[in-house]
Amino acid sequence: MKIAFIGLGRMGSGMARNLLRAGHGVTVYNRSREKADALAADGASVAASPGEACEGVEVAVTMLADDRAVEEVVLGESGMAAGLAKDAIHISSSTISTALARRLASGHAAIGQGFVSAPVFGRPDAAAEAKLVVVAAGPEELISRCRPLFDAIGRQTCVAGSEPWQANAVKLCGNFMIAAMLEAFGESFAVLRKASVEPRLFVDVMTALFKSPVYANYGRNIAEERFEPAGFALKLGLKDIRLTLENADQSAAPMPLASVIRDQLISAMALGQGELDWSSVSRISARNAGL
């Protein structure tokens, strides 16, 4: 397949490389050119604008930082909407708001283009190893056409429904589940440090209890206060919790636990932790306990 890939951050680069490895023809675009050039060595063509990247492709994937970036890339000058052919598909893998996903779906539909939301779970190493979990939503026929691409970047694809924004709702809830674990770890470590219990011991117990590599890895990082380099920056984590709460508000569903997390993340922002890994939210619990 001929594919455009737009957004070559730590996640996007790995995903684009795996599409190349799977034998697809990939044209890449990134705002700062050097990341695109790095992909050229692996066989990618490099475009000068999102619109140019989309010319003649069957599918265009976006993997960008936030709503604003996606809107710019799609609707901006020399943007995707202009470059993409009728019947081509835009796969949005960014973690964006459900509201934007709805707007993109109707926007693309209005000009005869397809739209699928396919956000992914996994950190940059999982992206590099094609071990992402893909959550896709959109019209069944479009999902089918995209399957080979999902298979190339992930270890598992789950279909959330026939409306693209449903996948974004699932992705936001998933990130919230992780954030809940992080906050629970933070509160536990604070109280256990006060009880003179070794943080490492608690990680061992939780690993034995949950038998989850996610608990083992995050637990260890928090226990050892290893927050740099950030696997996922706290400021992005806050962005996602904001989107989670916005979606919940629009659905008239209160999420009190998500509200607590939001408040703790805001406090972490106030203390300058925006670029640290979001597991550093645990510092707020420690600080509020006087540690």
Active site residues: 171
For its own copies, give the closer residue by CB, 36 or 243: 243
Q: Which tokens belong to 184? A: 């629970």
* Cβ 256 to its own copies shortest distance, Å: 5
Positions 55 through 94 that interact with its own copies (CB under 8 A): none
Q: Which tokens belong to 273? A: 């932790």
The one segment of 3-11, 17-25, 51-59, 174-182 that binds its own copies by CB under 8 A: 174-182
- Per CB under 8 A, the list member of 185, 221, 243, 278 interacting with its own copies is 185
* Cβ 115 to its own copies shortest distance, Å: 17
For its own copies, give the closer residue by CB, 229 or 254: 254
The one segment of 8-16, 75-83, 142-150, 194-202 that binds its own copies by CB under 8 A: 194-202
264 binds its own copies (CB under 8 A): yes
1 binds its own copies (CB under 8 A): no
129 binds its own copies (CB under 8 A): no
Positions 101 through 120 that interact with its own copies (CB under 8 A): none
- Per CB under 8 A, the list member of 32, 86, 141, 195 interacting with its own copies is 195
- Per CB under 8 A, the list member of 57, 255, 279, 283 interacting with its own copies is 255
* Cβ 248 to its own copies shortest distance, Å: 5
156 binds its own copies (CB under 8 A): yes
32 binds its own copies (CB under 8 A): no
Amino acid, single-letter form, for residue 133 = V
Positions 208 through 227 that interact with its own copies (CB under 8 A): 208-215
185 near 161, Cβ under 8 Å? no
Sequential DSSP letters for the chain: -EEEEE--SHHHHHHHHHHHHTT-EEEEE-SSHHHHHHHHTTT-EE-SSHHHHHTT-SEEEE--SSHHHHHHHHHSTT-HHHHSPTT-EEEE-S---HHHHHHHHHHHHHTT-EEEE--EES-HHHHHTT-EEEEEES-HHHHHHHHHHHHHHEEEEEEEESSHHHHHHHHHHHHHHHHHHHHHHHHHHHHHHHTT--HHHHHHHHHHHH--HHHHHHHHHHHTT---S-SSBHHHHHHHHHHHHHHHHHTT---HHHHHHHHHHHHHHHTT-TTSBGGGGHHHHHHHTT-
81 near 108, Cβ under 8 Å? yes
Q: In the beta sheet, which residues pair with residue 89?
A: 59, 114
For its own copies, give the closer residue by CB, 19 or 241: 241
For its own copies, give the closer residue by CB, 36 or 248: 248
160 binds its own copies (CB under 8 A): yes
The one segment of 28-36, 43-51, 107-115, 256-264 that binds its own copies by CB under 8 A: 256-264
277 binds its own copies (CB under 8 A): no
120 near 93, Cβ under 8 Å? yes
190 binds its own copies (CB under 8 A): yes
Count of residues near its own copies by CB under 8 A: 77
* Cβ 62 to its own copies shortest distance, Å: 21
Amino acid, single-letter form, for residue 124 = P
